[in-house]
Structure 1
């Protein structure tokens, strides 16, 4: 009897071929044959996506027949979908079937960092069958190169660079804002905006301000699509220099205060009094007190003149 038969006669063929000595060959040929639903082992079980993009978690179920397919979030055992029906208030989750590949796909829109974790694809057999998919979420880093406060002279071209790293996908755009108002580059003689992909995971956005004026001072932020923003504060100076301002503050801190001068005078007086107690005559005591006040009062008068000028 021939062993190459149609599937409908499989069981009868197994028995007859086994008796005829062809059982070993048939058993080897039909290894992996399933009589009900089973998961396709070629389906990926580890998915990596970028923050803010859409994630697609596949679950290939062969010979499903009339069984249902559910997606469950493992961290809280929340049932997300059953077949095409969604059982969570978060509208970012949705399941759909690609019939050509027998794949039930869980879609997660605008992925957030907290979406990372294990998801279970469960088939309603008895007992239940499960396939697990790990979702990894990559969070890009974004920063504006330089200090958080930038000082430039009026009329001096300034270039702000927004660097986005660890990004699987290039942002569709990078918007720049000045004090919450979007910067537009209609007149490229004043402002120019550029964006360049400099590495497989790095994008640089550049805001160039030509001949900045004092009114161009303020907060500047770069905001890539689907990502957080980064910001700096720009100070456009007309003549004054931050170093000079800091020097002035240091000088003010170094100047002696009125209390310190009076303390010095009191100290001198106390020293003179101690001398008088021990050995010095009264004439010497008076002389020391007069000298101490003669040294202190000119400085106090100078400070009063400065205060009057400032007023």
Structure 2
């Protein structure tokens, strides 16, 4: 620090030859007002010079061969204060005009809480938080444990990964932020303080991935012959590993081997021994793992079988002039060709007094033949015929 323009130097010397019960037998006190000097570039002037001469005259030496007991005790009792003043004056006069001092405060940084593990979905953002108390001059860094990659130091990003960021808040919280999360970001991350020995703690980032159904080996639409064994397959990826459930698209129950009907079947494979026409239809493979959205794939199971005909009423009575309808039920897949014939094999024509109608429902067909006005010529046998690539069958109805 700079000294004042006028400096007074005090020399105080206290010499004690005998210290006994607070008395001083011999002491010398001398006080001298030191000569004063202006700052460089300054002068006293005429008034200052006269003051300077007066100060010089006041300089004197005073010697006392033995002060009174009371004064001696006063001096000795104040000797401690005098020593302190001497020390302070010494420091003030001996410290150079510019003083540089540093105070080092030793701290012991501590983590306030463990790093909470974080779970984030692919494409989202994840934040790992590290809170440190009493950091002092130490620094905090984030590292990727498995690769030992330094990600950040204090509030600076070190890695070249542009998805990494650091948020420093409240002078004690370091938040590692990872944007656009990828599955490869999954793993352990370390918050480290550069003490000796080093202090650190770790947190785990779990990356979850919504399910995705693979095209292979997942089954595509299947065509099988009735009576054969069938296995439907569904493969899906995701983290955690997805569960797979099979359901019928229309919500119908699934018929198992023992005849039990269930709403769904769980597992990547669904086996149907001795498949029949009742198993035909659309099945949904549904994959889910708790990470939305769940996904599904539609697999169509097509069962081929030759035609089959069932006649509700094989004998039908009628009277002249009555309107009458004959009916047959046919099942076949691939879909059959359906028509009516008379006794001699003549196909019953459409139009006129005859009106054939087909009501189609999946592999089932209802065949109806309406006779608008029954006459004697209409009595006799009628055949309903169903034919596909796997076979042909017929049913007979007698109108009397």
TM-score (norm 1): 0.37
* TM-score, structure 2 normalization: 0.29
Structure with bigger RCO (C-alpha 8 Å, 6+ apart): 1
Please identify the structure whose Cα radius of gyration is greater. 2
